[in-house]
Structure 1
Amino acid sequence: METNILVVDDEKEIADLVELYLKNEGYNVYKFYTGKKAMECIDSMKLDLAVLDVMLPDIDGFSICQKIRERHHYPVIMLTAKVENIDKITGLTIGADDYITKPFNPLEMVARVKAQLRRYTHYNALDVNKAKIVQNTNEFDFSGLIINKDTHKCSLYGKPLSLTPIEFSILWYLCENRGKVVSSEELFEEVWGAKYLDNNNTVMAHIGRIREKMKEPPRKPKFIKTVWGVGYQIEKD
């Protein structure tokens, strides 16, 4: 089955380089140098992943990411020359799944693309090694929250929650470890499958996005509690 990847960067050399490496892996690449052309592709093509430059001459990458998240759940990787944490947090809170700062190693970029596609493609797969509860381990239903691993559907108080694959994986892991405080390091290494580095705000940004979708008050959330200096927890009743 073909994998279609959108690549958008106004720096022709970078866009061409990303295209070359991804095509060498057998992926179909739709490459554009402007946001407008990318938007047209998003509306007309079935895509499996997007690599978006933040700074574009017409439409910025954040706006394109928001457009994607209105209708699609496939992974989005942001590219940027900036290193400020606020830009990274902005990208993650609007639904991006990963963030790569220029200049970058093309082989690392390919590895991150593969990791995101693997997670997106197989998020429904059963993981028998994590069957930590005797009851139906593929669905949790408590306090108005229902999350099902087989269907990849989640609802709160009867209304569907539109979660990205990363957000779903975070919420699922917290539900699976309900009652336990899960550190940011454990969450990152479990969900992203990469080594956690100090001062990494990725988990915090995604937790904030999940709470926002659940309409949770940031100071007194009902579901995902912050244990300061330790991590996050969904309490048992």
Structure 2
Amino acid sequence: MTRVLVIEDDPIIGEMLTLYLTEEHFEVQRVESAREGKFALGTFDPDILLLDLMLPDASGTELCGEFRQLTAIPIIVISMKPSVTVRIQAISSGADDFLVKPFSMQELKVRMDAVLRRSTPAKPVALPYAGQTTSDVMGQQQGLSLDLERRTIVLDGEHIETTFSEYEIMKLFYQHPNRVFSREELINAVRGIDSFINDRAIDVHVTNLRRKLEKNPKEPQFIKTVWGVGYKFIN
């Protein structure tokens, strides 16, 4: 079942969205603030995000950029502002689509289906991969290798696309198997010491990597959590 995170503080619109999407067989979680939304990315693990641009604790198109830094899932903005400039800014900041309130629920579902089709599907681990020998591929661990030229992860001969941050985290894990990395070390590896990315963002990136690499993301075999410390990649 596709999981939808709705970040909408208007109780009437929020309830309408929840009821309609639930009837359409989506699993829905609704929150009312940007802070709650960022937390729900890690706890609810949604497949798509519906984001209002006017929230009690944050507002504006920069919200799209903040959430895009935290997740690679499709983002559809739902807003009262019909301005073309606002639409362009939202899309440029990371939104995949934009709907102006009031909108048709049927149109919303069609647009959700469209962006979900365009998004990269998660690929599970199948059998160990042992056939890649070209020089641009970095080694092999448990059937997993890195294609440095294409900046992709290779599993069973299939190239798995990742975001910039996901790839940099996986590259660090791969280069240092069995070493435990704190979230702070992973933050520095992704964006540098002056990064604004926080611990929650790292947790989201790891969750996304597990969805793409693991047979069962809830019981990961590659990327293990070391409670109270961080994460490690099992060789």
Scaled by the length of structure 1, what TM-score is found? 0.51
Q: Secondary structure at the match of 2:61?
A: helix
Return the offset for 1:122. 4.7
Q: How does 1:213-232 map to 2 (within 5 A)?
A: none
Find the counterpart in structure 2 of residue 3 from structure 1. Answer: 2
Q: Is the 8 A contact 1:35 1:61 kept in 2?
A: no
Q: Equivalents in 2 of 1:43, 1:86: separation in Å? A: 31
Q: Is the 8 A contact 2:68 2:94 kept in 1?
A: yes
Return the offset for 1:43. 3.5
Q: Decide whether aligned partners of structure 1 residues 64 and 39 sit closer, same or farther in structure 2, where only a CA change above 3 A counts.
A: farther
Q: Secondary structure at the match of 1:74?
A: coil
The amino acid of 1:41's aligned partner reads: A
Alignment of 1:77 with 2:85, yes or no, is no
Q: Equivalents in 2 of 1:78, 1:44: separation in Å? A: 21
Q: Decide whether aligned partners of structure 1 residues 85 and 45 sit closer, same or farther in structure 2, where only a CA change above 3 A counts.
A: same
Q: Is the 8 A contact 2:4 2:28 kept in 1?
A: yes
Q: Equivalents in 2 of 1:70, 1:26: separation in Å? A: 28
Find the counterpart in structure 2 of residue 96 from structure 1. Answer: 95
For residues 17-73 of structure 1, the C-alpha deviation after alignment (integer angstroms, 9 at most, x for no partner) is: 111111111111110122222122123331110000111121226344323322321
Find the counterpart in structure 1 of residue 227 from structure 2. Answer: none
Q: How does 1:47-62 map to 2 (within 5 A)?
A: 47-60=46-59, 62=61
Structure 2 unpaired stretches of 5+: 124-148, 153-157, 167-235
Q: How does 1:1-237 map to 2 (within 5 A)?
A: 2-60=1-59, 62-120=61-119, 122=121, 146=150, 151-153=159-161, 161=164
Return the offset for 1:151. 2.7
For residues 113-133 of structure 1, the C-alpha deviation after alignment (integer angstroms, 9 at most, x for no partner) is: 111122225598xxxxxxxxx
Q: Equivalents in 2 of 1:29, 1:9: separation in Å? A: 12
Q: Secondary structure at the match of 1:87?
A: helix
Q: Secondary structure at the match of 1:151?
A: strand
Q: Decide whether aligned partners of structure 1 residues 39 and 64 sit closer, same or farther in structure 2, where only a CA change above 3 A counts.
A: farther
How many residue pairs align between the two structures? 138
Q: Decide whether aligned partners of structure 1 residues 73 and 82 sit closer, same or farther in structure 2, where only a CA change above 3 A counts.
A: same
The amino acid of 2:15's aligned partner reads: D
Return the offset for 1:161. 4.9
Percent identity over the alignment is 29
Q: Decide whether aligned partners of structure 1 residues 162 and 4 sit closer, same or farther in structure 2, where only a CA change above 3 A counts.
A: same
Q: Secondary structure at the match of 1:10?
A: coil
Q: Decide whether aligned partners of structure 1 residues 151 and 68 sit closer, same or farther in structure 2, where only a CA change above 3 A counts.
A: farther
The amino acid of 1:49's aligned partner reads: I
Q: Is the 8 A contact 1:52 1:61 kept in 2?
A: no
Scaled by the length of structure 2, what TM-score is found? 0.51
Give the aligned CA root-mean-square deviation in angstroms.
Answer: 2.8
Q: Is the 8 A contact 2:53 2:63 kept in 1?
A: no
